[in-house]
A and B are shown apart, each in its own frame.
Chain A
Amino acid sequence: MRIGFFICHCGSNIAGTVDVVQVAEYVSKLPNVVHSVHLMYTCSQPGQKEIVDAIKEKRLTRIVIAACSPKMHEVTFRRAIERTGLNPYLFEMANIREHCSWIHDDRELATQKAIELVEMTIAKVARHESLFSNKVDVNKKVLIIGGGIAGIQAALDMADGGFEVVLVEREPTIGGKMAQLDNTFPTIDCSSCILTPKMVDAGQHEKIKLITYAEIESVSGYVGNFEVKVHKKPPYVNYEKCIGCGICERKCPAKAPNRFNLGIGEGKAIYIPFPQAVPKVATITKEHCIYFKSLAEGKLNRCKICQKVCHVSAVDFEIKDEYINEKVGAIITAVGFDLFNHSVYQEYGGGRYPDVISSLQYERLLSASGPTEGKIKRPSDGKEPETVVFISCVGSRDDSVGRPYCSGICCMYMAKQAILTKDHLPESKTFIFYIDIRAGSKAYEEFVKRAQVEAGAQYIRGRVAKIYPENGGLIVRGVDTLLGQQVEVMADLVVLANGVISSRGSNELAQKLRIPYDQYGFLSEGHPKLKPVETNTAGIFLAGACQGPKDIPSSVAQGSATAGKVQGLLSKDQLETSPLVALVECSRCIGCFKCLKVCPYNAIERITLKDGSLVASVIPTVCQGCGLCVATCPSASITLKGFTDDQLIAEVEALCR
């Protein structure tokens, strides 16, 4: 065995704390090590060339590189090693940056620790064997979860690239939050005017299969071959037959809160969310429907008016839950966000004052398709407000409600809403209480200036301490920290800039997809800079605000980015599977099949040997290499390649030497 050792300075990242020269010298004296050098940047082109040259010249058979986390550059080095003809799995990394130099200050202790980590890695690499990948066919279909702007963009880009798309949306229509907006910053272009064509394209594209009013029930399988069970909730209207004429909604006698308008104005128990909905079909909400309510009370009620008036007999009270199985090669998660519920803020009325509304409710008041047909009328008495106060950071940048992060979009939508308020009501006055103005993207700063100069929005830097009703209006009492004095504004309407929170149910979905999420429930990307739309689970991607607060341009960009990534993945006919999988030594297997019971992937099958004995066998293309079976096997007849018992114990022994 001829081991080659390379330690990386990583500029001063490692060499600043760890004496890399001393480590290289120490390692050079270890048995079987025939080459031990320190390099400035092992991952750089010259660094890789040194490694490749050394492998060839010194006929190295095992490689150890002490550098950053293997999560960073393991693949880089495997590729480099493969170029020499050496098996890329005869290689191991020692993590002396993230796990050593970056977390210690004491040079001596850090150097000693680095040496031990390297000895451990050498003990492991000595027990490596050549491993070879298998190939598995790829299903060239993609599942997209969430039909907001990010999901729609991803779906269109995938479909235009010639790939089959299944787009699953929880609501009866696609469109997401963007469909609820009136106009968009920083151009003040009408949201539905730019969104609707995309929704229609997605609805009509021959490659896109739209499943609305549906959620993901379960996900199994692995990259290239996922199996997904979709739960289609019963809308009690046959979506195939419904033509979206809306007569049922007009005739329905049952009142219900209008969900699309966020409770402002009334809706009906059977409803079409909004005029541009895709698919434009009606849906019955069971809890408000007179027929279903009477049924639950055991009474016979013959309401069923919607069924009687429907020309195409689409209303069907007998529709049951439906489960659709889809096989896909990749999954894009674009489940978006929700808004922080401001009722926890007692100082803003805790949700008791009808004229203290959320920013998204205000969008509905501004929208021509909203409950007031675009006229700003305050909810309590329908009066047109003369003074509108906006309050920023409601559920953002506030530790007291557990939301220390910036929601990123509120400063801009407040400026937009101030401009639109002036546009709708030229006589009105607007005040904006803010902490800082964050306007960091293209044309954003200019847009805020426009709100201040053209729309005359008065920006007051400071927090609001209290809102209370007086004389039919609301007194907003706060502090102007620039002037250092208290301010009181008599407002007719208060609009809160609710922060962005993770979408309801997104954590349960993450658990089904086996992807990580952070403490706020946002789904975690593979790397904050270099893998913004990938997750740690191969074949599962993220787009839009489910990963963190995002505005429309960024969400669209991520939608396209995921489509690019997925097209790269699905353009291959076959994928190489990891060779780090389990293997049964059938001569030792006692045929108890405990491994089969614990395997999360059904990767173990029963085979009959020539002598007639029934033993377990691992299907290497299905095995994902967790090692659960290895620890379960009572006869120690299963090994996990790359993480064998022998290797792990050798690592322990090396560390305890």
Chain B
Amino acid sequence: MSDIQKDIQNNDSNIKIIAFLCNWCSYGGADTAGTSRLKQPSEVRIIRIPCTGRVNPLFPMKAFIDGADGVLISGCHPNDCHYIEGNFYARRRLEVLKYFIDFMGIEKERFDYQWVSASEGQRWQQLIIDFVERIKKLGPIGKCET
């Protein structure tokens, strides 16, 4: 059994990861991974957005507040944005968000943003395997006492 299959089978955790993917590159990359039957852990739920530049930092924060254990945002590689420069704006906002997440008392490793093109199915698979493993190590997100 390959390492990848082992990683995927080891699936007894109860974590949830929300991924916001831009329609043009990363959503296509996840589609390419699917078309190529590249097996992945099942913890990730994908929300389609037009561009990473559409992401209001409120969305990942809302996901954490509602109990998501990890949030991943992925778009076109820098310079390859379908909308010319949307991902550059996203990069600045999300870089700042990393510090804010830490400030809010959430481990900042629970959040990441990446660039995956529509042809990079294998890269998407590896990214998911690695990210899920990272979140599993952190365990479920702590619930807020009210």
Give the B-binding residues of A (Cβ under 8 A). Answer: 69-71, 95, 97-100, 102-106, 109-110, 112-113, 116-117, 120, 510-511, 514, 516-519, 524, 536-537, 580, 598, 600, 624-628, 630-632, 640, 643, 645, 648-649, 651-653, 655-656
A631-B48 in contact (CB<8A): no
For B37, the chain A residues whose CB sits under 8 A away are 102-103
Given contacts A652-B18, A656-B67, contact A103 B34 (CB under 8 A): yes
Bound CA–CA A645/B79 (angstroms): 26
**B118: contacting residue among A102, A104, A516, A643, CB under 8 A:** A516
Residues of A within 8 A of B46 (CB): 95, 99
Shortest Cβ gap from B17 to chain A (Å): 10
In the complex, residue of chain A having the shortest beta-carbon distance to the beta carbon of B20: A648
In residues 1-28 of chain B, which contact A (Cβ within 8 Å)? 8, 11, 16, 18, 23-25, 27-28
A-B contact pairs, 24 of them (CB 8 A): A103-B39, A104-B8, A104-B40, A104-B42, A109-B11, A110-B42, A116-B45, A516-B80, A516-B118, A519-B120, A580-B50, A600-B86, A626-B51, A626-B53, A627-B49, A627-B50, A627-B53, A628-B89, A630-B54, A640-B50, A649-B59, A655-B45, A655-B63, A656-B67
- Are A627 and B54 touching (Cβ within 8 A)? yes
- B 29-44 binary contact with A (CB < 8 Å = 1; else 0): 0110111011110100
If A98-B30, A631-B89 touch, whether A104 touches B51 (CB-CB below 8 Å) is no
Q: Are B53 and A649 in contact (CB under 8 A)?
A: no
B145 at the interface (CB under 8 A from A): no
Q: What chain A residues lie within 8 Å of B47 (beta carbons)?
A: 120, 648, 651-652, 655
A653 touches B66 (CB 8 A): yes
Q: Do B84 and A600 have beta carbons less than 8 Å apart?
A: yes
Check B56 against A514 for contact (C-beta < 8 Å): no
In the complex formed, the residue of A with least CB distance to B82 is A514
Q: Bound state CA distance, A448 and B39, in angstroms?
A: 41
Would A117 and B45 be within 8 Å (CB), given that A630-B54, A631-B55 are in contact? yes
| Total residues of chain B contacting the partner, CB 8 A | 53
Point out the residues of chain A lying under 8 angstroms from B81, CB to CB. Answer: 514
Given contacts A99-B30, A649-B62, A106 and B11 within 8 Å (CB-CB):
yes
Q: How far is the CA of A173 from the CA of B79 in the complex (A)?
A: 31
Q: Judging by beta carbons under 8 Å apart, are A600 and B25 in contact?
A: no
> Cβ of A113 and Cβ of B119 under 8 Å apart?
no
Expressed in whole angstroms, the Cα–Cα distance for A99 and B39 within the complex equals 10
Contacts of B16 in A (CB 8 A): 655-656
Q: Which of A112, A117, A645, A648 has the most C-beta atoms of chain B within 10 angstroms of its own C-beta?
A: A648
Q: Which residues of B contact A (CB under 8 A)?
A: 8, 11, 16, 18, 23-25, 27-28, 30-31, 33-35, 37-40, 42, 45-51, 53-56, 58-59, 62-63, 66-68, 76, 79-86, 89, 93, 117-120, 125
Residues of B within 8 A of A117 (CB): 45
Say whether B34 contacts A69, CB under 8 Å.
yes
Contacts of B84 in A (CB 8 A): 514, 600
Residues of B within 8 A of A100 (CB): 42
Q: Give every chain A residue within 8 A of B50 (Cβ-Cβ).
A: 580, 625-627, 640, 643
Of chain A, the residue at the smallest CB distance from B93 is A631
Nearest CB in chain B to that of A633: its residue: B56
Given A120-B45, A648-B49 in contact, is the A98-B89 Cβ separation under 8 Å? no
Partner of B48, one of A70, A536, A624: A70
In the complex, the answer to whether B34 meets A98 with C-beta atoms within 8 Å is: yes
Q: Contact between B59 and A105 (Cβ–Cβ < 8 Å)? A: no
Query: Are A648 and B59 interface neighbours, CB within 8 A?
Result: yes
Whether B56 pairs with A630 at a CB distance below 8 angstroms is: yes
Known: A631-B53, A643-B54, A655-B18. A600 touches B85 (CB 8 A): yes
Distance between Cα atoms of A534 and B30 in the complex (Å): 20
Q: Are B39 and A640 in contact (CB under 8 A)?
A: no
Bound: A104/B68 CA distance, A = 21
Q: Are A71 and B62 in contact (CB under 8 A)?
A: no
A652 pairs with B80, CB closer than 8 A: no
A71 touches B45 (CB 8 A): no
Residues of B within 8 A of A116 (CB): 45
Q: In chain A, what residue has the closest Cβ to B19? A: A99
Determine whether the beta carbon of B68 is less than 8 Å from that of A652: yes
B34 touching A643 by the CB < 8 A rule? Answer: no
Residues of chain B with a CB closer than 8 A to A105's CB: 8, 39
Assess the B63–A656 pair: CB atoms within 8 A: yes
What distance in Å separates the Cβ of A66 from its nearest Cβ neighbour in chain B? 14
B82 close to A519 (CB less than 8 A): no
Complex Cα distance A630/B50, Å? 12
Give CA–CA (A518, B25) in the complex, Å.
11
Q: Please determine whether B31 and A71 come into contact, CB atoms closer than 8 angstroms.
A: yes
Give Cα distance in the complex from A649 to B28, angstroms.
22
A511 touches B45 (CB 8 A): no
Question: CA separation between A580 and B119, bound complex, in Å?
Answer: 25
Chain B residues in 8 Å Cβ range of A537: 82
Say yes or no: A627-B51 contact (C-beta < 8 A), given A98-B35, A103-B38, A600-B86. yes
Q: Distance in Å from the Cβ of A259 to the closest Cβ of chain B? A: 30
Q: Which residues of A contact B66 (CB under 8 A)?
A: 652-653, 656
Q: Which residues of B contact A631 (CB under 8 A)?
A: 53-56, 89, 93
Closest Cβ of chain B: how far from A128's Cβ, in Å?
14
**Given the contacts A110-B42, A640-B54, A516 and B59 also touching, CB distance less than 8 Å:** no
